[in-house]
Amino acid sequence: MSDAFSDLVDLAEARCSISGAVLASGQWAARLPSPKSLKLFVMKSRCYFALEGGLPIFADRGDFFLVRRGNAYTMSSAIDAPLGGEVTFHQDAQMTSDAYHSSACVALACFVSLEESAGNMLMNVLPNYFVIRARHDSQSTLHLLYDELVNEVRANDIGAKSTVDKLTQIIFLRVLRAYRETASESAGALGGRWPLATQDQRISKSLRLMNDRPEHPWTLQEFADACNMSRTSYASRFRTSVGVTPQAYLRDLRMRRAVVYLTQSARSVANIGNELGYASESAFSTAFKKAMKLSPAHYRANFRREQS
C-alpha cells in the first residue's frame, strides 16, 4: 500500500498478534462481545459468523475474517445452531501451539492493537466486518503466509514466537491490502469508507496532498480547487468518504506525526512544530495539548520515563 491509507495504518501503530485459539466440536454456538479494536480470525476449519442483528457469514479453512470494534457477534457451527455446545476460547497465546494440534481447532484469533487517536481514524474507514476468501485468485501471497504461519505454530521451535508475531503482522497488512483490492466484490456495501475514499479519485487526491505536505497551511478552498469541486461539495463528500472533516483528518495526522517525532527523535519542540506547519512553538504546543491532553514536553518526558 503506497497511498494515504498506508500512512494511516502506520500512524495508527496497528500491531497484530495471535491472542488465542477457538476450539469446538459437534453443534455449537457462542456469542462474543465487541472487540476492543479489531479482531482477525485465521480460519482452520469452517464456521459461521453473524454480527448482532445481521445475516450469517460463512468462513472456511484458509479464509480471513476481520470484525471491527462496536460489533458484538456470534460464532457457530451452523446457521441455526443454538447457543452452547462444546466450544472453548483459549485466551493465552502461549497455549495456541498445543491448541492448534487439536482436530477441534476452528481458528487462530488475532488481536490488533491501535494507538487511540489515529486508531479511531483507521476504524472510521473500515467496514463492520469483511472476509478475504482463500480461493480468491489474487491471494497467492496471502496463502503462502498462511501456510508458513501454520507451520511455525505447529513446529513451536526455537524463535517460533518471534516468527509467528512477524508473520501475523504481515498477514494483517496483507489482509487490509486484499480487502482494498477486492472491496467491490466483498464487503464494500457494509458500511466501510475505505472503498469510497480509494475509489473516489478526487477525495483520494486530497488525502495524498495532506499526507505528502502536512506542514502546508491548507484551506478548505485549496482542497476544493485541487479536486475541482465547490467547497460545500468537497467538504460533504470528504466526510462521507473518510468519516471525519478534512480539518479533523489533517489535525490528527499532524498530531500523530508529532508523537512520532517526540518519541523517536531528539528534535526540539519548536523544530517539530515548524516542520508540521505551526507558526510558532506556542501555537504547536497549544494544539498538541488540546489533542493529547499533555504539552509536547510533558508527553516526551512521560514516554522516556516509561521506556526507562
| Digit-coded pLDDT (tens) for 89-110 | 887 655 666 676 778 889 988 8
Q: What predicted TM-score, i.e. pTM, was given to this entire model?
A: 0.64
pLDDT (0 to 100) of residue 305: 82
The ranges of the chain annotated as CATH 1.10.10.60 are 200-307
pLDDT (0 to 100) of residue 7: 64
Q: If you classify domain 4-185 with CATH, what class do you get?
A: mainly beta
- In the predicted model, is pLDDT for residue 115 greater than 70? yes
Q: Binning pLDDT at 50, 70 and 90, where does residue 135 land?
A: low
pLDDT (0 to 100) of residue 280: 93
**What is the distance between the alpha carbons of residues 47 and 88, in angstroms, rounded to a whole number?**
14
Q: Binning pLDDT at 50, 70 and 90, where does residue 26 land?
A: very high
pLDDT (0 to 100) of residue 192: 46
Q: What CATH number belongs to 200-307? A: 1.10.10.60
The ranges of the chain annotated as CATH 2.60.120.10 are 4-185
Q: Binning pLDDT at 50, 70 and 90, where does residue 287 land?
A: very high
> Tens digit of pLDDT for each residue in 138-148?
556 777 787 78
pLDDT (0 to 100) of residue 66: 93
Cell numbers 482542497 correspond to 223
pLDDT (0 to 100) of residue 188: 37
